[in-house]
Amino acid sequence: MGYTNMRHCLEDLEARGDLVRISTEVDPYLEAGAIQRRVFQNKGPALLFTNVKNTTFPMAGNVFGTMQRARYIFRDTLDTLDRLFKLKIDPLLFFKAPWKYLDVLPMLARTMPKRVSQGPISRGETTIERLPQLVSWPMDGGAYVTLPQVYSENPARPGIMQSNLGMYRVQLTGNDFRTNREVGLHYQIHRGIGYHHKLALEAGEPLRVNVFVGGPPAMTLAAVMPLPENVPEVVFAGSLGGHRIKMVQAANGLPMPAEADFCISGRIVPGRELPEGPFGDHLGYYSLRHDFPVLRVEKVHHRVDAVWPFTTVGRPPQEDTVFGDLIHELTAQLIPTVFSGVREVHAVDAAGVHPLLLAVGRESYVPFARQRQPQELLTNAMNLLGQSQTSLAKYLVIAALEDDPGLSARHIPRFLQHVLQRMDFARDLHFITRTTMDTLDYSGISLNQGSKLIMAAAGEVKRRLGMKLPRDLPLGEFSRPRFMAPGIMAVQGPRSTQERDTHDPEVEKLGERLNNAPGMQEFPLVVVVDDSDFVTRCWDNFLWAVFTRSDPATDTYGMGAFVHCKHWGAEKGIVIDARLKTYHPPVLEPDPQVEKRVDELGARGGPLYRII
């Protein structure tokens, strides 16, 4: 059976030597987050801070910091979930080998939450300002909950079966929030709580919301699972945790997990939105201040032995990378059942997840054609952009599995080489302009608005990719050309001064010059960057800088660009302007003094000696 609460999980990790207690006083302002990130980067243990400044509650960090530890936490149910998903794909498997699936039915019986009259969460009450005030990055607008489980129900059809549980960030202090009475609730587009909020606004009523922190680890993972709309996350948590989630009533009348560590219970007030942010986010930049809903706090419940789990996000990889990898393991086999014709998808973590989606699909529309080209792949791509979290993809690159049955979207260098060899840049670029995009991505033309680009490749190899840069390139004011990979070149540009939603004429001219340069037919992808040495140092740098700092429609230029009947294409290849723009938010940078204090904890005799 899985863990029923966070404390049992932490005690078990400590018993197996996979948790370190830190009794030295730790400041939740910058220091706790810096420690957690450093330990994560070193693949270190879970952390329990027992002496946290300005609060009586201990904090737990890096609990899900490695795949090995995450698999261990859910070890009792992962195999059964795998068999359950296989049955969904092929129900006849049960009749072929029923003995392999005997534990699936008991698991299904454990999925439904169980209402109880009381539980540990009901025994304590505190205030917002007494909670750990975690501030992860120097420019953050206040203290945040970074592992929240935000629970809401359909106000027209209340009940757990019409509920949504999501991980939407919660700002506890700062800005114009009334101390102890209000917190900021930032939810992005395409989130389940948005529909509940819409119904409440239409009815002119507050929306009841509970924010759970801690409790069964399965609840934390369920909050970030991309589940179908008709599957409540609390129900999935029962399957993942191996037990029915016990629920008691919170101050606002909604349920809360009986074994949760904390629950902030309240209502979203109609018509009261306040600035939330800045916040150092998972793309590696600050998301800025914007008006978001306000949760009016009615009560902060807690258990008497409560622990405050936390994480910090920033430029990938971070602890949330592990969540993504675990979700991929759980759901990879379901992809063809959700997206017909798609074998594999990979939301690239190093690029910030949503900015870059790679996919392998089927191309079988015209199997007798003498010259194969993307057709079914485009249907597959539109399907991906029309459903669930894949709809937030900004660059979608899709290739045909028939061209290479061993091709995998997880092997990025080989995948991109395969695509660049086969793409027809005059035909296979498809833009969707002025559409919705990820709230956290500031490369577009406004908040929540930008463009998307589908790049599709099918058929025979069309070009040889260069392994050595051409000489005497006509770069003009651009300089320092660097080889990244076969067919990919980076050049360094002057600092961008372009306003939002405008083209840079100098990059347009660069594309024209490169189109006429000898040897450029072997380099169909050129990226303009602020530091070509940094970008070409490793794939993580390349993926992060190129795809988080560019908007497809605004920042894509052509080597031999043309427009025909509203279709944009290029003769030899494309140039992507991936420089930081005047309207981009600041890059996350740690506080040097805090980093020095963390260094001291890792010195000989310190609690993190030989860990960081």
Q: What would the mean pLDDT of 337-356 be, rounded to a whole number? A: 93
Q: What would the mean pLDDT of 486-505 be, rounded to a whole number? A: 97
Any domain includes 406: yes
pLDDT band at 84 (very low <50, low <70, confident <90, very high): low
Q: What would the mean pLDDT of 175-193 be, rounded to a whole number? A: 90
Contact 334, 219 (CB under 8 A): no
Quote the pLDDT of residue 89.
Answer: 46
Name the least confident of 367-371, 395-399, 492-496, 528-532. Answer: 367-371
Quote the pLDDT of residue 387.
Answer: 84
Any domain includes 395: yes
Q: What would the mean pLDDT of 153-164 be, rounded to a whole number? A: 94
89 burial via Cβ count (<10 Å: 0-12, 13-18, 19+): exposed
Please check the confidence at residue 268 and state whether its pLDDT lies above 70. Answer: yes
Nearest to 85 by CA among 324, 326, 334, 339: 334
402 and 551 fall within a common domain: no
Q: What would the mean pLDDT of 124-145 be, rounded to a whole number? A: 98
Single-letter amino acid, residue 227: L
pLDDT band at 93 (very low <50, low <70, confident <90, very high): very low
Quote the pLDDT of residue 370.
Answer: 81
Among 457, 491, 510, where does a domain finish? 457
Quote the pLDDT of residue 506.
Answer: 97
Name the least confident of 31-40, 328-337, 496-505. Answer: 328-337
Two tokens, residue 82: 């795998």
156 and 302 fall within a common domain: yes
393 and 521 fall within a common domain: no
Q: What would the mean pLDDT of 34-44 be, rounded to a whole number? A: 98
Q: What would the mean pLDDT of 199-214 be, rounded to a whole number? A: 96
Q: What percentage of residues in the chain have a pLDDT greater than 90?
A: 84
pLDDT band at 368 (very low <50, low <70, confident <90, very high): confident
Any domain includes 413: yes
The DSSP secondary structure of 287-325, one letter per residue, reads E--EEEEEEEEEEEEE-TT--EEE----SSSSHHHHHHH
Name the least confident of 101-105, 433-437, 584-588. Answer: 101-105
Contact 280, 143 (CB under 8 A): no
Q: What would the mean pLDDT of 461-470 be, rounded to a whole number? A: 97
Report the CATH number at residue 426.
3.40.1670.10
324 and 305 fall within a common domain: no
Backbone phi, then psi, for 578, in 5-degree steps?
A: -110, 35
45 and 164 fall within a common domain: yes
How many domains does the chain contain in total?
3
More confident residue, 92 or 210: 210
Domain that holds residue 511: 479-577
pLDDT band at 334 (very low <50, low <70, confident <90, very high): confident
Q: What angle do CA 391, 393, 398 make, to 5 degrees?
A: 100
Any domain includes 226: yes
Quote the pLDDT of residue 229.
Answer: 74
Please check the confidence at residue 77 and state whether its pLDDT lies above 90. Answer: no
Among 282, 310, 338, where does a domain finish? 310
- pTM more than 0.85: yes
Any domain includes 137: yes
pLDDT band at 457 (very low <50, low <70, confident <90, very high): very high
Please check the confidence at residue 393 and state whether its pLDDT lies above 70. Answer: yes
Please check the confidence at residue 573 and state whether its pLDDT lies above 60. Answer: yes
423 and 500 fall within a common domain: no
What is the Cβ-side half-sphere exposure of residue 207, based on CA atoms within 13 angstroms?
30
Please check the confidence at residue 8 and state whether its pLDDT lies above 70. Answer: yes
Contact 449, 390 (CB under 8 A): no
Quote the pLDDT of residue 105.
Answer: 58
428 and 540 fall within a common domain: no
Name the least confident of 28-32, 324-328, 508-512. Answer: 324-328
Q: What would the mean pLDDT of 430-449 be, rounded to a whole number? A: 93
Any domain includes 281: yes
pLDDT band at 600 (very low <50, low <70, confident <90, very high): very high
β-strands 290-302, 182-186 pairing: antiparallel
Any domain includes 597: no
Quote the pLDDT of residue 92.
Answer: 47
pLDDT band at 108 (very low <50, low <70, confident <90, very high): low
- E strands within 85-225? 114-115, 124-126, 144-145, 149-153, 163-166, 169-171, 182-186, 207-213
447 and 517 fall within a common domain: no
Backbone phi, then psi, for 449, in 5-degree steps?
A: -135, 135
Q: What would the mean pLDDT of 119-139 be, rounded to a whole number? A: 98
Contact 171, 277 (CB under 8 A): yes
More confident residue, 274 or 189: 274
Quote the pLDDT of residue 95.
Answer: 44
Report the CATH number at residue 297.
2.30.110.10
Q: What would the mean pLDDT of 303-327 be, rounded to a whole number? A: 96
pLDDT band at 1 (very low <50, low <70, confident <90, very high): low
147 and 277 fall within a common domain: yes
Please check the confidence at residue 266 and state whether its pLDDT lies above 70. Answer: yes
Please check the confidence at residue 96 and state whether its pLDDT lies above 90. Answer: no
Please check the confidence at residue 129 and state whether its pLDDT lies above 60. Answer: yes
Any domain includes 126: yes
Alpha carbon 231 to chain centroid, angstroms: 21
Please check the confidence at residue 102 and state whether its pLDDT lies above 60. Answer: no
Quote the pLDDT of residue 411.
Answer: 97
153 and 207 fall within a common domain: yes
pLDDT band at 86 (very low <50, low <70, confident <90, very high): low
235 and 343 fall within a common domain: no
Q: What would the mean pLDDT of 111-122 be, rounded to a whole number? A: 93
Edge to edge, what strands does the sheet with 255-257 contain? 114-115, 246-249, 255-257
Indicate the average pLDDT of the chain: 93
Q: What would the mean pLDDT of 374-396 be, rounded to a whole number? A: 93
Two tokens, residue 386: 């029309």
Please check the confidence at residue 192 and state whether its pLDDT lies above 50. Answer: yes
549 and 435 fall within a common domain: no
